[in-house]
Structure 1
């Protein structure tokens, strides 16, 4: 009798927990009643959250749900939150998205129309000092040269510069993530700004940067216009907003439509977008293929 009562109590406890979890993930027309959105800070996390509150308010009004912003310290923190189910939607670089989908099922939703290209793609560039003897990519891929990447997981600061170097004859394969012979040395600066300054300061002969970030540095006066020369560039699929696939097709449709409906100039300026367009997993196939070949994507 006692054993039966204990069993009944356990069953009721489990059922109660399940009910609570279900209540927490109540949906409204397919979208979680509380939609959790992950952001990467480019300023202090608390300032980032306040800065993007107009975006959260817009999504809340458009979708008819509560929106909670989650600010991580870096891309790894956002990916960990996606994998752990602590957030539903996040903004990732193309390479980070492809790396993350090895750990959790993700659906890319939209990307921004870039101000500079007018398309869903932006530009990665290899730059050198304008007063150097480097005129083209062949001059970069030479014995004794030094090169700087940004973060190893950066799409435009690591993967695409590595693609350009490899296509020009360097051997930046999966066994040499931190080497690209015949280059003498390869550094990882951690970011586009640091890479541009490393090239400008003569710490390396050339480096890979996101071109629109270089233009921002020039407009701010951090880098003198014309001081760095673009020796090679490549189009990169835009940063995708992704969703955990388990939320379902209806959520994907409604969230995507909320992005593509944005027409407030101030909000678009905040999001650094001209507008938004839908994307699919197929749009990132080059990143999967080349990233795997260069050792930056592990296929499970």
Structure 2
């Protein structure tokens, strides 16, 4: 379950090769004269298992195709790096990223943030990253987990709410995560990457780790679905995170980017908004993600993930 930082460049190279080969047969979208590409290629990070993510976003794919009057192809990678690789390779026009994933990607290709969702729980464009423990755990705070040398789990290494902000919380509580190895944050006994928010929750539930960082609204969804018993996990700390940005490649003409933005802003169907965890959508700019850049740089994540 644990990834060492030494394996990250090799992992990314393999992911990049598989993405390029897998998407090479899709053909390039045509964007001459500023017209809509056909197909419009849309990528989504897998904040839950890829198969479930693909099924969840099928109604959105159909909506976008109907609204824009063009074919839309949906691509869900097996991990966050896969979507970044596809963007860098020029195989995607629009993508749904976490803030950290966007910052990671923009170091390799030019991106334009378009919109983010207004969170149904907070009522704002920000949502919550949380550190959770088992309800029966003696830990009452993040400082308790760090001070006791607990075992900690993140989700995907490139996740904003499952990696970056939990790392902010544990370092603020006294952990040293400046070791040059993403899997070492003494005095924590161990640090592991589970690959997803749902897997991080299960790691705490099973007792594999003592605490984990994840997106709070995903935990609530897992409880609603019955994947995690209600009350089995207890939140010891939260931090606000700027919402997941939908971004466009700057290769996409500005009128097309505006048409895509307008399509998001026009979503009114309650069922579609519910599927996408949104109350509504609002436009965002590059400046909205400056804190993510600063925190990622401060914690060495951009250096560690460079060339991943």
Count of residues paired in the alignment: 277
Distance in 2 of aligned mates of 1:274 and 1:97: 22
Distance 1:167 1:89, change over 3 A: same
Distance in 2 of aligned mates of 1:278 and 1:133: 43
- State the partner residue of 2:274: 269
Secondary structure in structure 1 of the residue aligned to 2:92: coil
Distance in 1 of aligned mates of 2:69 and 2:191: 49
- State the partner residue of 1:141: 146
Distance in 2 of aligned mates of 1:24 and 1:259: 21
- Taking structure 1 as the reference length, the TM-score comes to 0.84
Alpha-carbon contact 1:88-1:243 (below 8 Å) kept: yes
Give how far 1:221 is off: 2.5
Distance 1:48 1:154, change over 3 A: closer
Distance in 2 of aligned mates of 1:143 and 1:57: 50
The counterpart of 2:84, out of the listed 79, 96, 102, is: 79
- State the partner residue of 2:19: none
Secondary structure in structure 1 of the residue aligned to 2:212: strand
Give how far 1:33 is off: 4.5
- State the partner residue of 1:292: 297
The counterpart of 1:198, out of the listed 203, 220, 225, is: 203
Secondary structure in structure 2 of the residue aligned to 1:25: coil
Alpha-carbon contact 1:192-1:210 (below 8 Å) kept: yes
Asked whether 1:106 is paired with 2:108, we answer no
Distance in 2 of aligned mates of 1:139 and 1:259: 42
- Taking structure 2 as the reference length, the TM-score comes to 0.82
- State the partner residue of 1:36: 41
- State the partner residue of 1:258: 263
The counterpart of 2:245, out of the listed 240, 244, 257, is: 240
- State the partner residue of 2:65: 60
Alpha-carbon contact 1:128-1:231 (below 8 Å) kept: yes
Structure with bigger gyration radius:
1
The counterpart of 2:229, out of the listed 224, 228, 233, is: 224
Q: How does 1:86-105 map to 2 (within 5 A)?
A: 86-105=91-110
The counterpart of 2:168, out of the listed 163, 184, 204, is: 163
Give how far 1:75 is off: 2.2
Distance in 1 of aligned mates of 2:181 and 2:83: 27
Give how far 1:186 is off: 1.4
Secondary structure in structure 1 of the residue aligned to 2:115: strand
Alpha-carbon contact 1:27-1:33 (below 8 Å) kept: no
Give how far 1:82 is off: 1.2
Distance 1:123 1:26, change over 3 A: closer
Give how far 1:28 is off: 7.0
Distance in 2 of aligned mates of 1:155 and 1:250: 30
The counterpart of 1:122, out of the listed 127, 132, 135, is: 127
Tell me how large the CA RMSD over aligned residues is: 2.3
Secondary structure in structure 2 of the residue aligned to 1:286: helix
Structure 1: gaps (5+ residues):
1-22
Alpha-carbon contact 2:80-2:156 (below 8 Å) kept: no
Distance 1:61 1:289, change over 3 A: same
Distance 1:174 1:183, change over 3 A: closer
The counterpart of 1:178, out of the listed 183, 202, 205, is: 183
Distance in 2 of aligned mates of 1:229 and 1:44: 26
Distance 1:109 1:207, change over 3 A: same
